[in-house]
Amino acid sequence: MASWFKVAEFPGEAQLEELDRYLHGRQVSHRFTEERGKQILWLADASQLSIVKAYFETPQVEIEEPAHNTAVQGAGLSFHQAVNLFPLTLLTIILGLLGYLYQEYLFDARYENPLSFLPAPQAFESGQVWRLLSPAFLHFGTLHILFNGLWIWELGRRIEIFTGKINYLLLFLISAIGANYIQYFMSVGERFVLFGGLSGVVYAYLGYLLVWHRFSNNPLVKLPAGVFIFMLLWLALGFSGLIDFFISGSIANGAHLGGLLCGIAYAAIQVYWRSGSTHSKRES
């Protein structure tokens, strides 16, 4: 199990993009988190602290700017480093892949799918509590799992490094179950409706980053505006019904909307808590 070492604190408004690129260019495994209005730098290897010190002792004009940011782009990372940096993101994708394999090759359509959604009363009564969550891992076709897996990889690892593993896990569980519930309630009149996929979680991650994009200078939450526009347009097209003409089945619009709202709400609570704690510190 990897250990992280806290090596520095910076003001919440500090611009750390240059330091982030500097460390990645020198293959220093690190991450930034935000705690009570401050940005915290962590190292996976405490012996690399001298590299951090060298950054502040060297004039900025003499520092060679690396060509890429490996924590965000994933370039230059070994599998071992990726597992250490964002294991929950990788686990999410793996579970989605297993759900795809189960649905495509193992599930017998003559029977009720044991991974399909059940509301809480029925789930607890039947002892199948996992069915509150499990539809998130079901995928119907190769393109479905590829699309969702790539977005989970792109957005999830940013969030896992930015907010930490506990918050990542809470966000995932809340958004996956919340998206399932919204989709279930929007499937009026379909008693045994089967839906699934990680796209509700993808939209939760998008909503989470959309809020923090406004309130944080951390480069991990700075997505291009075009990404937000594209995904929100895709959501609108889904509700219009146009996409259903080009695919088999239909888009789980309720899951997308439910996930987006869960992600926005979770980030908003974090922002409120952080701003409240910062205000209390200033008063004291």
First to last CA, the chain: 38
Q: What is the pLDDT of residues 105-132, one digit of tens each?
A: 887 777 778 888 888 999 999 999 999 9
Which is catalytic among the residues 24, 30, 144, 256? 256
Q: What string of DSSP letters covers 62-115?
A: GSPPPS--HHHH-TT--HHHHHHH-HHHHHHHHHHHHHHHIIIII--TTS--TT
The interaxial angle of helices 199-215 and 165-186, nearest 10 deg, is 130
Q: Is 243:233 a contact under the CB 8 Å cutoff?
A: no
Report the DSSP beta bridge partners of residue 5: 43
The interaxial angle of helices 142-151 and 87-101, nearest 10 deg, is 170
Classify domain 5-77 by CATH number: 3.30.70
- Tell whether the model's pLDDT for residue 153 goes beyond 90: yes
- Tell whether the model's pLDDT for residue 279 goes beyond 90: no
Q: What is the mean pLDDT of the chain?
A: 82
Q: How high is the pLDDT of residue 2?
A: 55
Q: Which of 198, 180, 192 is nearest to 110 (CA)?
A: 192
Report the DSSP beta bridge partners of residue 10: 39
- Tell whether the model's pLDDT for residue 254 goes beyond 70: yes
Match 């240059």 to its residue by tokens.
18
What is the CA 251 to chain-centroid distance, rounded?
Answer: 21
Q: How high is the pLDDT of residue 85?
A: 83
Is residue 256 annotated as part of the catalytic site, yes or no?
yes
- Tell whether the model's pLDDT for residue 80 goes beyond 80: no
Q: How high is the pLDDT of residue 72?
A: 55
**SS3 category, 225:** helix
Query: Would you kindly state where each structural domain of the chain is located, as residue ranges?
Result: 5-77, 86-281
Q: Is 97:178 a contact under the CB 8 Å cutoff?
A: no
Q: How high is the pLDDT of residue 208?
A: 96
As a whole number of Å, the CA-based R_g of the chain is 21
Match 């003001």 to its residue by tokens.
11
Structural class in CATH, domain 86-281:
mainly alpha
How many Cβ atoms are within 10 Å of 247's Cβ, its own excluded? 12
Q: Would strands 30-35 and 5-11 be described as parallel, antiparallel, or unpaired?
A: unpaired
**SS3 category, 3:** coil
- Tell whether the model's pLDDT for residue 42 goes beyond 80: yes
Which is catalytic among the residues 116, 175, 199, 216? 199
pTM of the complete model: 0.72
Q: What percent of the chain has pLDDT over 90?
A: 37
Helices marked H in 131-198: 142-151, 157-163, 165-186
Q: What is the pLDDT of residues 11-36, one digit of tens each?
A: 877 778 778 878 877 888 888 888 87
Is residue 199 annotated as part of the catalytic site, yes or no?
yes
Query: Which residues make Cβ contacts (< 8 Å) with residue 53, sequence separation at least 6?
Result: none
Distance, in Å, from the CA atom of 277 to the CA atom of 284, rounded to the nearest integer, reads 11
